[in-house]
Amino acid sequence: MLDVSGLTAGYGHGPVVQDVALQVERGETVALLGPNGAGKSTLLGALSGTLRHRSGHALMDGQDLLTLPTHAIVAAGLVQVPEGRRMFAPLSVEDNLRLGAVRLAGRSASTLAARFDYVYTLFPRLAERRLQRAGTLSGGEQQMVAIGRALMSSPRVLLLDEPFLGLAPLVVDEILSALTALRAQGLTMVLVEQKLDIALPFTSRAHVLIKGRVALTLPSAELARRPDLPRLYFDLAHSAR
Ligand SMILES: Nc1ncnc2c1ncn2[C@@H]1O[C@H](COP(=O)(O)OP(=O)(O)O)[C@@H](O)[C@H]1O
Ligand SMILES: [Mg+2]
């Protein structure tokens, strides 16, 4: 589904992510682990096109995403849920969701309505609050809007950047069960996460990014059984730089 190779990316003063290779199969959920500052968000930004200083390849069904502008990447079906949610605070929940529907531009009103239904079924709380201003929502509800907004364009690959950051355990569970439903429907996902107890049970494979390079790639279940796991916990909890 997604085949990344030789990906190097940064902000114009030296690479932050270097020579990354990463494969994601159709319907697979892959974890991208790594300490703060390892380059996880930079890597997602390079794939989704929000970051311009990038080289290498990111093939999705034979098309190289790195040659495309952001809107064309979304149109190809790769959509990112950014770190920190990035709501349009003065806009309603519904208007925030509508902004995510760019890939449906030009499609029928019933297609759009079906997408709203889909998101509101997944997150009933958003249906209750659809006219509320996004800026007045709780952190968990804002995260639901961020995920819902990405889903509005019917993504084929969803990139999630630390969606649970700063959320209370109950809300984490609520969002995790929505993501579990998406996984059961066969949606392909890449989950950036620092907490192994969330990431490993949810994913089939894990890539560990250390200082901008993939240091380890293996099945999540195998990683969970490794005797050096406490060491990895320790490394992930500490800054790479
Ligand atoms: N907009 C930016 N401009 C310059 N440097 C940045 C920017 N964003 C992140 N960086 C730097 O890139 C490195 C990796 O950051 P990031 O990709 O956010 O890591 P992670 O998501 O793994 O915590 C850090 O050293 C960070 O300071
Ligand atoms: Mg990050």
Q: pLDDT tens-digit profile of 54-108? A: 999 999 988 999 999 999 999 999 999 999 888 899 999 999 999 998 766 777 7
Determine the topology of domain 1-77+156-241 in CATH. Answer: Rossmann fold (3.40.50)
Q: Which helix (H) or strand (E) holds 191?
A: strand 188-192
Q: pLDDT tens-digit profile of 100-155? A: 987 667 777 788 999 999 999 999 999 999 999 999 999 999 999 999 999 999 99
Cβ neighbour number for residue 172 with a 10 Å cutoff: 18
The phi and psi torsions of 73 (rounded to 5 degrees) equal -70, -45
pLDDT of residue 230: 76
Q: Which of 158, 142, 162 is nearest to 36 (CA)?
A: 162
Task: Judge contact between 140 and 62, C-beta under 8 A.
Answer: no
Q: Which helix (H) or strand (E) holds 208?
A: strand 205-210
Q: Measured from the CB, is residue 39 less than 6 Å from ligand 1?
A: yes
Q: Measured from the CB, is residue 16 less than 6 Å from ligand 1?
A: yes
pLDDT of 32 above 70: yes
Task: Judge contact between 148 and 79, C-beta under 8 A.
Answer: no
Q: Tell me the CA–centroid distance for residue 12 and ligand 2, in Å.
A: 18
Q: Looking at the DSSP assignment, which residues form a beta bridge with residue 192?
A: 32, 161
Q: Measured from the CB, is residue 96 less than 6 Å from ligand 1?
A: no
Among the bound ligands, name the one nearest to the CA of residue 161: 2
Residue 100 DSSP label: G
User: Which ligand 1 atom sits nearest the alpha carbon of residue 209?
Assistant: 22
In the chain, residues under CATH classification 3.40.50.300 are 1-77+156-241
Q: Measured from the CB, is residue 40 less than 6 Å from ligand 1?
A: yes
In the sheet that 29-33 helps form, which strands lie side by side, from edge to edge? 78-81, 157-161, 188-192, 29-33, 205-210, 213-219
Cα dihedral sign, 78-81-86-87? positive
pLDDT of residue 239: 57
User: Which ligand 1 atom sits nearest the alpha carbon of residue 12?
Assistant: 4
Q: pLDDT tens-digit profile of 173-229? A: 999 999 999 999 999 999 999 888 999 999 999 999 999 999 889 999 999 998 887
The preferred substitution site among 13, 20, 40, 42 for testing ligand 1, maximizing ligand atoms within 8 Å of CB, is 42
